[in-house]
Amino acid sequence: MGCCYYAFMTWIPGLLVARGLTLTKSFGFTIAIYGAQVPGYFSAAWTNDRIGRRNVIALYLALGAAGALFLSQVQTPTGLLWASVMLSFALNGVYSGLYSYTPELFPTAVRATAQGIATATSRVGAMVSPILVGALYPALGFGGVFAATMVLLATGGATVLLVGPRTNGITLS
């Protein structure tokens, strides 16, 4: 998930310019895109205790996949803005679930270490993913980059939902 987040947030201003927006308009859109993260995070945080962290993660990954799919297909500046806002909203919402879900997967004795390892591993993806976008963009184009993002987010959501254990309502050791 972090790989999609960091790749998107790193490249979106340049990708919008490559899609035909002026640099000024691209950065204006980027402000709105970053602004969408706040309600994304808060809405997911509010939902965490109501439907469970695992379900929040899967739901927001699905919303992100829908945003990435929309972004891969859209042609108009307004469509680019709304699809990007949707993707940003969803990607930050996933973090609300992850920050509470991941530690719950581990016994108390190793929880901090396990969370640290999980976070460190995600940072490797965060470092590599912008480089991959730079390498894939010439071959796949704008639509292809976001189609690949959609596949990654949808796969992550399905995996969490199908394989991830439920942790809501369970007493932790």
Q: What is the pLDDT of residue 1?
A: 66
On the 0-12 / 13-18 / 19+ scale of CB atoms within 10 A, 28 is middle
Q: Does some domain include residue 142? A: yes
pLDDT score recorded for residue 34: 94
Taking the chain (173 residues) in runs of 10, the rounded mean pLDDT of each run is 81 88 91 95 94 95 96 93 96 92 91 92 89 92 93 95 88 71
171, part of any domain: no
CA 148 to chain centre: 13
The answer to whether residue 173 sits within a structural domain is no
Range of the domain at 132: 2-163
Instruction: Name the CA dihedral angle for 123, 124, 125, 131, rounded to a multiple of 10 degrees.
Output: 120
Residue 89 lies in a domain: yes
Residue 170 lies in a domain: no
Residue 106 sits in a domain whose CATH number is 1.20.1250.20
From the CB of residue 13, how many other CB atoms can be counted at a distance below 10 Å? 16
The pLDDT of residue 41 is 95
For Cα atoms 105, 107, 109, give the angle at the middle one, nearest 5 degrees: 140
- CA diameter of the chain: 54
Please report the pLDDT score of residue 153 as a whole number: 95
Question: Would you say residue 47 lies in a domain?
Answer: yes
**Joined tokens for residue 55:** 């379900």
Residue 169: inside a domain: no
- Tell me how many domains the chain contains: 1
Compute φ and ψ for 52, nearest 5 degrees: 95, 145
